[in-house]
């Protein structure tokens, strides 16, 4: 996998793809993080060598929820676009062709 990501580490071991959230200590999520995870899972789907994924995280918490502290002020149109992006990311796990266990 040759892509680089800001908030996740992506690697593989044998036939297992590994995505590690790298926002310790609590790994709060936002649209950017969700899209990075979705992009990594989609890349794994295109790689015929990957048969399963592991989603894990650095820090104290696997994921403590949404990052409300750094959430931009948006209007209704921006919220609708953000909702579509979040839906894409959250749909990428069940839509992937490989099993996806999460390690907390």
- Region for residue 97 given its phi and psi (left: phi exceeds 0; alpha: psi -120 to 50; beta: otherwise): alpha
pLDDT tier, 65 (very low <50, low <70, confident <90, very high otherwise): confident
Q: Please, are residues 29 and 67 in contact by the beta-carbon 8 Å criterion? A: yes
Average pLDDT, the chain: 79
Q: Is 25 helix (H, G, I), strand (E, B) or coil?
A: coil
Q: Tokens representing 46?
A: 């295109």
Taking the domains of the chain in order of start, what are their residue ranges? Answer: 8-95
pLDDT tier, 76 (very low <50, low <70, confident <90, very high otherwise): very low
pLDDT tier, 50 (very low <50, low <70, confident <90, very high otherwise): very high
pTM recorded for the entire structure: 0.70
Q: What is the Cα–Cα distance from 35 to 40, expressed in whole angstroms? A: 9
Q: What is the Cα–Cα distance from 78 to 57, expressed in whole angstroms? A: 29
Q: Please, are residues 19 and 36 in contact by the beta-carbon 8 Å criterion? A: no
pLDDT tier, 31 (very low <50, low <70, confident <90, very high otherwise): confident
pLDDT tier, 74 (very low <50, low <70, confident <90, very high otherwise): very low
- The CATH class, in words, for 8-95 is alpha beta
């Amino acid at each position: 996998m040759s892509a680089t990501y800001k908030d996740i580490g992506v690697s593989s071991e044998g036939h297992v793809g590994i995505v590690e959230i790298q926002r310790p200590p609590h790994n709060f999520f936002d649209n950017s993080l969700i899209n990075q995870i979705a992009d990594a899972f989609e890349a794994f789907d295109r790689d015929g060598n990957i048969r399963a994924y592991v989603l894990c995280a650095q820090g104290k918490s696997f994921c403590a929820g949404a990052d409300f502290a750094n959430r931009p002020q948006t209007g209704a149109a921006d919220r609708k676009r953000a909702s579509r992006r979040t839906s894409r990311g959250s749909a990428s796990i069940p839509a992937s062709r490989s099993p996806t266990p999460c390690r907390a």
